[in-house]
Amino acid sequence: MHSNSVIELNRSAYQNNLQFIKNTFGDKVIFSSVVKGNAYGHGIAQFVLMAFQCGVNHFSVFDVQEAKEIKKTLQDQVTILVMGLVQDDEMEWVIQNNIEFFVFDKNRLSQAVKIAKKLALKAVIHIEVETGMNRTGFDINEVNEVIAIVKKQINQLNFKGLCTHYAGAESISNHDRVSNQIKNFEGIYQQFCQNDLIPEIRHTACSAASIMFPETRMDLIRVGIIQYGLWPSPEVFITYLHSQKNIIDPLQRVISWKSKIMSIKAVHTGDFIGYGTSFMAKRMTKIATVPIGYSHGYSRSLSNQGRVLIHGQRCVVIGSVNMNMMTVDVTDIDLAKQNDEVVLIGIQKELSITVASFSDFSDQLNYELLTRISTAIPRKIIE
């Protein structure tokens, strides 16, 4: 197990975010915590345990591997919804374990029917329809056939949900496209109703849609990024602020990432630092080596740009980020010595390194940056 750094999950920050979600969306909407991508890098096992202890009982994942992770941690105490891939040889486990899943094509639908029949059980399905994202989902011209199949096989199928996903609700530039999707979804829902096939619930909203288009909330919201204390985009944050009296960010970052100084050395004026010639010391420079590199998910594009905190001061990454190490400039921190704490994401004294601040430098999305943090780093829940 990697011991060069640690990821901390802050329980009270998470509770704060849950309270925000409850206040904003009310009690009638089911909150499904989206934990794909190793819970957005937070560590799925530790994260779902913490969430469950805070009262969350519905989780959405991408694939069956992730569903199994949750099952291992929380057994039958929660609902698990697979939004993406169920491979043919996983279908049996899925139905046996009452895992709910998206059905977005006829192969998946007939596979569900076949295995449910074999097991003499019902598959709990959410029918995903294409409304304009053009990723997965039944086309409008397939809907009548789907309705016929589901009605015919109703002994094998529990038609739990009707759903879709929006193509970029976090950006105003997609406003028309998303508005059309909302209309298309309503039309398809009516088509089901006219054929006397009514889903138990309807759901379409991710974090951004739930804020930007309140009508998308329906019966359940699939919320990822907001629960971790981050906004899907600056536009969503600004839209939210405009609806409020106070200009304060109601969310709190759950994740922190900390390491320690591995070694310290002095570099002479005019010397290059690290591989190649990307950084030349313009003065007598004191550098600290930190045992974190791109193999741990600290992006190489943060070379000569990233910031970390040491002794409550912001220090710049100098030279290129290596596979397992990087060097930071600590010339102005007399106290800096081996084993001192280095904050890569999080707070130290008065300063903070946000996930967004490091994604601005590296031009990556919050989402991408978080999910690239190595699964090998231990995750710890703190109060």
Ligand X SMILES: *Cc1c(COP(=O)(O)O)cnc(C)c1O
Distance CA 82, CA 319 (A): 42
**CB 79, CB 57: distance < 8 Å:** yes
Chosen residue from 44, 223, 287, 318 binding ligand X by CB under 6 A: 223
Q: How far apart are CA 252 and CA 14, in angstroms?
A: 7
Residue number, 206 or 292, with CB nearest to ligand X = 206
From 219-227, 248-256, 272-280, 369-377, span contacting ligand X (CB under 6 A): 219-227
Output the six-digit token pair for 54: 């805070």
The sign of the CA dihedral 190, 108, 224, 134 is negative
Q: Which residue has the tokens 């100084």?
A: 261
Q: How far is the CB of 74 from ligand X (least distance, A)?
A: 20
Shorter beta-carbon distance to ligand X: residue 341 or 368: 368
First-to-last CA distance in the chain?
23
Q: Which of residues 158-187 bind ligand X (CB under 6 A)?
A: 165
- Which residue has 């912001």 as its token pair? 314
Q: How far apart are CA 126 and CA 219, in angstroms?
A: 13
* Nearest-angstrom CA–CA distance, 27 and 19: 11
Q: How many residues bind ligand X (CB under 6 A)?
A: 12
Smallest distance from the beta carbon of 232 to ligand X, in angstroms? 5
Query: 281 or 373, CB closer to ligand X?
Result: 373
Name residues contacting ligand X, limited to 8-37 (CB under 6 A): 34, 36
User: Of the listed pieces 21-29, 191-199, 206-214, 258-266, which binds ligand X according to CB under 6 A?
Assistant: 206-214
Which one of 187-195, 221-229, 307-315, 357-365 is the stretch in contact with ligand X (CB under 6 A)? 221-229
Residues 229-288 that bind ligand X (CB under 6 A): 232
Q: If DSSP codes are grouped into helix, strand and coil, which group holds residue 220?
A: strand
Residues 73-112 that bind ligand X (CB under 6 A): 83
Choice between 223 and 325, CB closer to ligand X? 223
Comparing CB distances to ligand X, the nearer of 233 and 303 is 233
Q: Is 206 in the site for ligand X (CB under 6 A)?
A: yes
Cβ neighbours of 374 (radius 10 Å): 16
For ligand X, which is the closer residue by CB, 234 or 378? 234
Q: Which stretch binds ligand X (CB under 6 A): 106-114, 192-200, 220-228, 306-314?
A: 220-228
Position among 94, 150, 225, 318 found at the interface with ligand X (CB under 6 A): 225
Q: Which residue's C-beta sits nearest to ligand X?
A: 224
Q: Give CA 283 to chain center in angstroms.
A: 42
Under the criterion CB under 6 A, does residue 207 sit at the interface with ligand X?
yes
Q: How far is the CB of 199 from ligand X (least distance, A)?
A: 16
- The distance of closest approach from Cβ of residue 125 to ligand X in the complex, given in angstroms and rounded to an integer, is 15
Segment contacting ligand X (CB under 6 A): 64-72, 108-116, 218-226, 369-377? 218-226
**Residue 363 in tokens:** 């031009």
Q: Could you give the C-alpha distances from 20 to 23, 40, 280, in angstroms and in order? A: 5, 19, 47
Phi, psi of 173, deg, nearest 5: -60, -20
d(C-alpha 221, C-alpha 330), whole Å:
45
**Separation between Cα atoms, residue 329 and residue 314, nearest integer Å:** 9
Minimum distance between the CB of residue 128 and ligand X, rounded to whole angstroms?
Answer: 8
Min CB(22)–ligand X separation in Å:
16
Closest to ligand X by CB, 36 or 258: 36
Residue 56, exposed/middle/buried by CB under 10 A (0-12, 13-18, 19+)?
buried
Is 208 an interacting residue with respect to ligand X (CB under 6 A)? yes
For residue 172, how many C-alpha atoms fall within 13 Å in the half-sphere facing its CB? 7
How far is it, in rounded angstroms, from Cα 137 to Cα 276?
49
Query: Is position 222 an interface residue for ligand X (rule: CB under 6 A)?
Result: yes
Q: Which residues of the chain form contacts with ligand X (CB under 6 A)?
A: 34, 36, 83, 165, 206-208, 222-225, 232
